[in-house]
Structure 1
């Protein structure tokens, strides 16, 4: 019987069958040992086959995914953690204060999404809390990503009408991601008030959000489509992305790479590099280029924590 994975909590999985029946499942032991390097072999968004064994339903087969977003696990650097699968688009929520979302984190997320051909919308939240300096920083940052080819939205989820976001999300499977405290649960509550997801204030002492979502879950939206809520992410280490491929995951690099002197230019030390010239002339963002260099030289997953606005 085919089913869609709605929620994962440890080794327990909530799925919805094609008939619309909600079933609690386990994962067949032999399946867990088939060379899957991810810390979570089954994720929200997966299409699976289930079968009843004795008195319990079990997931017995994973149907091939059309895509997924994966990052390096925080405590197990040699293993990966898949955020969700079979996504139509991802919405990365960004705040410039309480907590700070750095460009290094944003760019790593974008590279991971681009590697799976997943469109990303950058949603700048909490703009009602920004002073004039932060508003100017936000304006400049939005321009950086618009010039790179990304769609951006600025909003106060608490205070603004969400019609534009609803129109973007309608009839799609949307992944919501970002640091703890950026407003993911608040956004979902306002989009679908009956869910009443828990929210917490940002820690004053550490300027970081506190986890309210501890597992991933898919929710249906009354206006059409669905949304996958994920736990807040502190870091984003890249997985299964070759150094030679990273440049092709920066859209603004692709647009001019044929102008580089060398066909295999990685835009680092080569002479007559069109990308480096574009950075010097200001048509490619210095922060985007610096983050690119970080990814191809020392992808330690920690540099994103050092940037300050």
Structure 2
């Protein structure tokens, strides 16, 4: 039996690199499950597994080692099943663009909530800053202000103009980093710039809709020549949350969690209760309106009538 790292998952077939450096095509034995969450994929990139090497040079995965963490999303908007994107992650880098395409604040917040829930530190990487003209600078500054004030690190980069790429490489060095983002934000282009030998496929933005086309079909992990690993993921159009108790949702909004200690009621939902410090802060503009609206949206879309007036 050999121990190995799952490098790529394509349906029910896996590419696994053994500790001796050899890479095998593998299948999994039976129903491998680590927990009670119903997922479309029992195995994911970043998993450490035990492999039985067969005579024909392929492998049979017999065991998944316990995960340090993982990040998960709904398989589709209409599905109750979940899809595990990656496991055993040191940090997540969410690639964000202000234009071509525009990353919505609600999408960023849903991603951050999931990362917080699974204890994965997250950095926001604002790509394509070369496209930011005077009209878009206030938008970029507003985004960065919202998230830096909460405690999230923000990087401004441009793959096209090679802006701050060295800083990005330093951020990735010796870490297992998950790279995510909407289609078209430039993940594959950034990865190619960081590690040219990978030569990942890239695609142009659709001029008609200013949206990206999917170039990555499956998650895959790559070793970096300067130390560390990056996990490239398919472009995500939406981010459905799973396995999060809505009464604990405020734990995953750092600014709301901090204020919750001042609420009148210990079981405050921060939506309609009197003496709620969070509502008071939202009404005064001390919490970014977009963040509080994201909280309400995720908690319960039917709570529209309770929403306070925001500045």
Q: TM-score range by the shorter chain?
A: over 0.9
Moved more, 54-63 or 185-194: 54-63
Q: Is residue 261 from structure 1 mapped to residue 264 from structure 2 by the alignment? A: yes
Aligned counterpart, 2:90: 88
Question: What is the TM-score with the length of structure 1 in the denominator?
Answer: 0.93
Question: In 1, are the aligned partners of 2:188 and 2:200 still within 8 Å (CA)?
Answer: yes
In the alignment, the residues of structure 2 paired with residue 38 and residue 100 of structure 1 have an alpha-carbon distance, to the nearest angstrom, of 30
What is the RMSD computed on CA atoms of the aligned residues?
Answer: 1.7
In the alignment, the residues of structure 1 paired with residue 31 and residue 72 of structure 2 have an alpha-carbon distance, to the nearest angstrom, of 23
Q: Is residue 21 from structure 1 mapped to residue 22 from structure 2 by the alignment? A: yes
Shift of 1:34: 9.0
Instruction: Structure 2: give runs of 5+ residues left out of the alignment.
Output: 303-311
Aligned counterpart, 2:198: 195
In the alignment, the residues of structure 1 paired with residue 78 and residue 47 of structure 2 have an alpha-carbon distance, to the nearest angstrom, of 23
Shift of 1:54: 6.4
Aligned counterpart, 1:246: 249
Aligned counterpart, 1:185: 188
Over 3 Å counting, the alpha-carbon distance change for 1:282 and 1:30 in structure 2 is closer
Q: Is residue 213 from structure 1 mapped to residue 216 from structure 2 by the alignment? A: yes
Q: Is residue 38 from structure 1 mapped to residue 39 from structure 2 by the alignment? A: yes
Ranked by relative contact order (alpha carbons within 8 Å, sequence separation 6 or more), the top structure is 1
Aligned counterpart, 2:140: 138
Over 3 Å counting, the alpha-carbon distance change for 1:219 and 1:100 in structure 2 is same
In the alignment, the residues of structure 2 paired with residue 143 and residue 33 of structure 1 have an alpha-carbon distance, to the nearest angstrom, of 39
Question: In 2, are the aligned partners of 1:127 and 1:135 still within 8 Å (CA)?
Answer: no
Aligned counterpart, 1:126: 128
Shift of 1:36: 5.9
Give the secondary structure class of the aligned counterpart of 2:138: helix
Shift of 1:89: 0.1
In the alignment, the residues of structure 1 paired with residue 274 and residue 138 of structure 2 have an alpha-carbon distance, to the nearest angstrom, of 35
In the alignment, the residues of structure 2 paired with residue 195 and residue 100 of structure 1 have an alpha-carbon distance, to the nearest angstrom, of 27
Question: What is the TM-score with the length of structure 2 in the denominator?
Answer: 0.92
1:173 to 166, 173, 176: 176
- Give the 5 Å matches for 1:70-89: 70-74=72-76, 77-89=79-91
In the alignment, the residues of structure 1 paired with residue 243 and residue 129 of structure 2 have an alpha-carbon distance, to the nearest angstrom, of 35
Instruction: Structure 1: give runs of 5+ residues left out of the alignment.
Output: 300-309
Give the secondary structure class of the aligned counterpart of 2:92: strand
Question: In 2, are the aligned partners of 1:219 and 1:228 still within 8 Å (CA)?
Answer: yes
Give the secondary structure class of the aligned counterpart of 1:259: coil
Shift of 1:183: 0.6
Question: In 1, are the aligned partners of 2:77 and 2:240 still within 8 Å (CA)?
Answer: no
Shift of 1:196: 0.9
